Amino acid sequence: MFQRFRRTRLNGHLRSLVRETNVNITDFIYPLFVRSGEGIKTEVASMPGVFQMSLDEILKECEELKKIGLYSIILFGIPDVKDSIGSDSLCEHGIIATAIRAIKETHPEMFVVTDLCFCEYTDHGHCGIIDEKNETVNNDATLEISGQQAVIHAKAGADMIAPSGMMDGIIETLREALDGAGFENLPIMSYSTKFASGYYGPFRDVAESTPSFGDRASYQMDPANRREAIAESIEDEAQGADILMVKPALAYLDIVREIKDSTSLPMAVYNVSGEYAMLKLAGKHNLIDYNRVVMETMVSFKRAGADIIISYHAKEVAKMLLNK
The whole model's pTM is what? Answer: 0.94
The domain in which residue 251 lies consists of 21-323
- Binding site membership for Zn(2+): which residues? 117, 119, 127
**Cα 66 from Cα 318, distance rounded (Å):** 11
9 domain residue, yes or no: no
Residues 6+ apart with CB under 8 A from 179: none
37 domain residue, yes or no: yes
**Cα 266 from Cα 321, distance rounded (Å):** 23
Q: Tell me, what's the pLDDT at 192?
A: 97
Kindly name the residue from 66, 67, 133, 194 that is annotated as catalytic: 194
**Cα 142 from Cα 128, distance rounded (Å):** 5
Q: Tell me, what's the pLDDT at 262?
A: 97
Whether 247 is a known active-site residue: answer: yes
Paired sense of beta strands 160-163 and 47-54, if any = unpaired
**Cα 262 from Cα 267, distance rounded (Å):** 11
Q: Tell me, what's the pLDDT at 29?
A: 98
Please, what are the averages of pLDDT over each run of 10 residues along the chain (324 residues)?
Answer: 93 95 97 95 92 97 97 94 85 94 98 92 82 84 94 97 93 97 98 94 66 73 96 97 97 98 97 96 97 98 98 97 88
Helix or strand holding residue 281 (H, E): helix 273-284
Kindly name the residue from 60, 104, 155, 247 that is annotated as catalytic: 247
14 domain residue, yes or no: no
- Binding site membership for 5-aminolevulinate: which residues? 204, 216, 273, 312
Give the domain CATH number at 305.
Answer: 3.20.20.70
Helix or strand holding residue 115 (H, E): strand 111-116
Residue 188's Cβ-count burial label (10 Å; 0-12, 13-18, 19+) is: buried
Structural domain total, the chain:
1
> Can you state the percent helix, strand and coil of the chain, rounding each to 5?
45, 20, 35
Q: Tell me, what's the pLDDT at 130?
A: 83
Whether 41 is a known active-site residue: answer: no
Q: Tell me, what's the pLDDT at 73?
A: 98
- Binding site membership: which residues? 117, 119, 127, 204, 216, 232, 273, 312
7 domain residue, yes or no: no
297 domain residue, yes or no: yes
